[in-house]
Structure 1
Amino acid sequence: MGSVDLNFLFTLAEVQRLMRAYADRAAARYGITRAQWAVLAKVERSEGMKQTELAEQMEMQPITLTRLIDKLCDSGWIERRGDETDRRVNRLYLRKAGRQLLGKLAGLRSEITATALDGITPADAIRLLTQLDLIKENVRHAIQNHEADAPKKEQRYG
């Protein structure tokens, strides 16, 4: 366990950093950033989602997401539509150009995945993904348990 303990966090962080850099470079060929790509993909999966819900799901500050959405709207890939019951709310929808771009990016996603998993058998790749999902859930539960166990700040008056 010693070498795993020594290398686990740093290796995961390095893999994430390299994958992000690789995906950014690859996405740039299509005139989009990895972050914009992520927003497009989320909107595709949940069209009509509120901007605030998307920010929460992506764990992103609303102002940061607003800037990304502004660029995506300016490029003609998504559009904001007002909510029928609450005019303060914007809902997000893909435009035709956004769907076409995501179609092209699906091939790019496959290319990135194939490059990253080169030399790993399909069975091992599935096992790896399953294990990463388990790690993610373990950490998510640990965070929730930590938050539940954290002492509440004492209210002070005067």
Structure 2
Amino acid sequence: MAKTEDLPFGYLLNDVTLLFRKHFDRRAVKFGLTRAQWRATKMLHHREGLRQTELAEYLEMEPIAVGRVIDRLQAAGFVERRPDPRDRRAWRLYPTEQARAVIGDMEQIGRGLRKDATQGIDYDELARALAVLTRIKNNLQALDQPAEEATARTDSQGDGA
């Protein structure tokens, strides 16, 4: 009997991700933002005033890497750091008017790329695929939880006994 673990899909997911990134970067180069910079800018657009560590969590990146991204965005005029009124050692991050001016254009690039990438795929088919990928992501994230949390989770699921 065939098993899901016998279907190799890791390389395919990686290839799709690399191709998506390549084509996004080609389309977005005119704005002078890398994909990482765009992700940080978009996150700050939706959640103004985050601290660098909070932004790193949302982006699933290391804080030091996010710091470099923010340094470049600040130098390019897309982000400003403001002192945190509750913690004088910390900074809050805000998109500038320059960043706000390109948000719509960058989102349009993303929509256009998604349209091109999903050509010939209907909505329900893509929705099912995304649901499966979300479950795979959740399964992989659960592997990072401490063993006692995983044990508690399986105990709470129980077998009805």
The 5 A counterparts of 1:4-153 are 5-144=6-145
Instruction: Let me know the Cα RMSD of the aligned residues.
Output: 2.2
Q: Structure 1: which 5+ runs fail to align?
A: 150-158
Paired letter, 2:68:
R
**Cα 1:102/1:124, change in 2 over 3 Å:** same
Distance 1:47 1:57 in 2: 13
Helix, strand or coil at the partner of 1:17: helix
Structure 2-normalised TM-score? Answer: 0.82
Corresponding residue pairs, total:
150
Paired letter, 1:137:
N
Could you tell which deviates more after superposition, 98-107 or 126-135? 126-135
**Cα 1:97/1:136, change in 2 over 3 Å:** same
Per the TM alignment, residue 16 of structure 1 is displaced from its structure 2 partner at its CA by: 1.4
**Cα 1:6/1:123, change in 2 over 3 Å:** closer
Q: Structure 2: which 5+ runs fail to align?
A: 151-161
Per the TM alignment, residue 6 of structure 1 is displaced from its structure 2 partner at its CA by: 4.3
Helix, strand or coil at the partner of 2:144: helix
- Stretches of 4+ moved more than 4 A in 1? 145-149
Structure 1-normalised TM-score? Answer: 0.83
Per the TM alignment, residue 148 of structure 1 is displaced from its structure 2 partner at its CA by: 5.4
